[in-house]
Amino acid sequence: MAENSTLRSELWIGGTWRPATEGGYDVEEPATGTVMGQAGSASAEDVDAAVRAAHEAFIDRRWSGLSGRERSRILLKIAELIRENTEALAQAESRDVGKPITFARVVDVPGAADQFEYFAALAQQMDGSVRDTPLPAFAYTRREPHGVVAAISPFNFPLILSASKLAPALAAGNTVVHKPAPQTPASAQLLGEIFQQAGLPDGVYNLVTGPGAETGRQLVTHTQVSAVAFTGSTVVGREVARTAGELLKPVAAELGGNAANLVFADADLETAVETIISAFVFNTGQFCMAGSRLLVQRPVYEQVLEILGAAVGGVPLGDPSDEGTVIGPLVSGAQRERVERMVDDAVSAGARVITGGSRIEKDGGYYYAPTVLADLPEDAEAVREEIFGPVLTVQPFDTEAEAVALANSTPYGLAAGLQTSDLSRAHRVSEQLRAGIVWVNTWATLDVAVPFGGVGASGWGRESGPEALASFTRTKSVIMAISPEASTPGAS
Ligand SMILES: NC(=O)C1=CN([C@@H]2O[C@H](COP(=O)(O)OP(=O)(O)OC[C@H]3O[C@@H](n4cnc5c(N)ncnc54)[C@H](O)[C@@H]3O)[C@@H](O)[C@H]2O)C=CC1
Ligand SMILES: O=C(O)/C=C/C=C(\O)C(=O)O
């Protein structure tokens, strides 16, 4: 695979590239604001062709009919090929997300490979169980795939958040139609050929791209799509869940977050400040589990603000292709305008700007300075809502109970964390935080073995860990007569 592959304006359907009936749409490079190429613009007809290819591949059992061990071997090969093609995948991810290349190489590509490796092992353990009943019958359960899964992924971690759906879906024997975010189709375009090279039968993975919401809607409503796995905004997640619910299709929805990071006065402040900064600048803040809401115990409040004021401006910001870059551009002009508006509104409402607070003009890219805002009104949108940019809001608290109440005061519940040296407090507060994942004295440390997912407005279901398989399987019970009495209706 070439290390600098170019975008294609076609769709991967049934194991081959096919022209999109509506041609292509422009994909921008966030570091320069220029068009880097075109991806295929799928019509309803193309979506239908992709779903039909996936459905045919499901019903003829070319994938679900393989043993778990055979599927596992192919998934392991996929993981190996992803690692072998690290440079091409990392370059693709870096160029269309604006993601710093070093992070793409050490976080995104290995993270995606890990998903296939991990679920390759679980593909061999799709066991049911024998049930002890008083029936004159042999009763057992089977875990079966749903059929065609629609995997809808977002722009911020295109590879990882595609792999976190595709790997468990495929491990369980489903076939897939994948729709990446319109802004970031590049790495997904490399996956189809990797899958084929690994031996995944044609039609088991299909890719449709498109510039708007329609492609996603067509997938969710298609009669041959049996289940949906979605990551994105809470607004769209609600729509997807509503539509799929009406059609009685299971949905896994990993949605927005607004994580609170609690700093207690007993924390080791030097380490805590490093954690605080990486928690809100990681992936330029475009991380659903970003620690963007800092709550600091009053005795160290001004001290923490002072340290942040001195340190945050020094985090390397710039061209994502430079190996030293930590903060790249935001994904699009629209995303930057959203961040800018939320910061400007907070400042108009009385927020104190500790550092940053404005866009950075550089190479025509969508850069925004890492920003720390203090003393915001409790009802400021920047406090209540997901910002998805390199922005930290800081509020003081006095007691542990007040900190927990503030942390739990938004409808979201994806991640939360605390910085403390008190072991009892660490466990006590972890239990009280309303979130799917809690970090203590660290942030954003994730592994494919550890599930994550939301509470409340942050969604349903879990990705990673064995828990992820729940979204991609259903249980069937089989009851087989072992004596004549069992064939009598109602016999027990
Ligand atoms: N939880 C997370 O990781 C993410 C959160 N967000 C939040 O959402 C905000 C907006 O970002 P967007 O990219 O506009 O998110 P979005 O929710 O619109 O997009 C996510 C995915 O859903 C697709 N989609 C959009 N409308 C759809 C529909 N009606 N039916 C089915 N699929 C649909 C998109 O094309 C994309 O693939 C961000 O600023 C951030 O706050 C965005 C992306 C990821
Ligand atoms: O696994 C990672 O490193 C990143 C995961 C990111 C998300 O789940 C998200 O932003 O939605």
Instruction: Give the ligand whose atoms come closest to the C-alpha of residue 225.
Output: 1
| Alpha carbon of 166 to ligand 2 centroid (Å) | 15
Decide whether any atom of ligand 2 lies within 6 Å of the 287 Cβ.
Answer: yes
pLDDT 10s per residue in the chain (492 long)?
777 778 999 999 999 999 999 999 999 999 999 999 999 999 999 999 999 999 999 999 999 999 999 999 999 999 999 999 999 999 999 999 999 999 999 999 999 999 999 999 999 999 999 999 999 999 999 999 999 999 999 999 999 999 999 999 999 999 999 999 999 999 999 999 999 999 999 999 999 999 989 999 999 999 999 999 999 999 999 999 999 999 999 999 999 999 999 999 999 999 999 999 999 999 999 999 999 999 999 999 999 999 999 999 999 999 999 999 999 999 999 999 999 999 999 999 999 999 999 999 999 999 999 999 999 998 999 999 999 999 999 999 999 999 999 999 999 999 999 999 999 999 999 999 999 999 999 999 999 999 999 999 999 999 999 999 999 999 999 999 997 655 556 655
Main-chain dihedrals φ then ψ at residue 260, nearest 5 degrees: -95, 135
| Alpha carbon of 265 to ligand 2 centroid (Å) | 29
Q: 206 has which bridge partners? A: 177
Which ligand 2 atom lies nearest to the CA of residue 286? 10
Indicate which residue's Cα is closest to atom 11 of ligand 1: 233
- 193 counts as catalytic: no
The full 3-state SS of 328-370, as one line of letters, equals CCCCCHHHHHHHHHHHHHHHHCCCEEEECCCEECCCCCCEECC
d(CA 67, CA 63) in angstroms, rounded, equals: 9
Q: 145 has which bridge partners? A: 473
> Taking the complete model, does pTM exceed 0.90, yes or no?
yes
Whether the CB-CB separation of 416 and 435 falls below 8 Å is answered with yes
Copy the structure tokens of residue 297. 């115990």
Amino acid at 154: P
Return the SS3 of 290. coil
Kindly give, in sequence order, each residue whose CB lies less than 8 Å from that of residue 246, ignoring residues fewer than 6 positions away.
none
> From the DSSP assignment, how many helices (H) and strands (E) are in the chain?
15, 22
Decide whether any atom of ligand 2 lies within 6 Å of the 160 Cβ.
Answer: yes
Rounded to two decimals, the ipTM of the complex is 0.96
Which ligand 2 atom lies nearest to the CA of residue 107? 3
Residue given tokens 């440079």 in the structure block: 87
Copy the structure tokens of residue 373. 């805002």
Decide whether any atom of ligand 2 lies within 6 Å of the 175 Cβ.
Answer: no
Whether the CB-CB separation of 44 and 22 falls below 8 Å is answered with no
CA neighbours closer than 13 Å in the CB half-sphere of residue 390: 29
Q: Which of 152, 208, 446 most suits a substitution to test ligand 1, by most atoms within 8 Å of the C-beta?
A: 152
Q: Which of 160, 282, 452 most suits a substitution to test ligand 2, by most atoms within 8 Å of the C-beta?
A: 160
- DSSP annotation of 6: P
CB atoms within 10 A of CB 286: 24
CB atoms within 10 A of CB 448: 22
Domains for the chain: give ranges and CATH numbers: 10-255+458-477 (3.40.605.10), 260-440 (3.40.309.10)
Number of residues in the chain: 492
Catalytic choice (10, 28, 254, 386): 254
CB atoms within 10 A of CB 26: 14
CA neighbours closer than 13 Å in the CB half-sphere of residue 378: 8
In order of 28, 80, 367, the CA distances from 331 in angstroms are 9, 29, 9
Q: Which of 107, 106, 103 is nearest to 94 (CA)?
A: 103
Residues near ligand 1 with C-beta < 6 Å? 152-156, 179, 181-182, 213, 216-217, 220, 231-233, 236, 239-240, 254-256, 288, 335, 338, 386, 388
Copy the structure tokens of residue 369. 């300075």
Instruction: Give the ligand whose atoms come closest to the C-alpha of residue 163.
Output: 2
DSSP strand pairing (359-360 vs 367-368): antiparallel
| Alpha carbon of 287 to ligand 2 centroid (Å) | 6
d(CA 283, CA 47) in angstroms, rounded, equals: 31
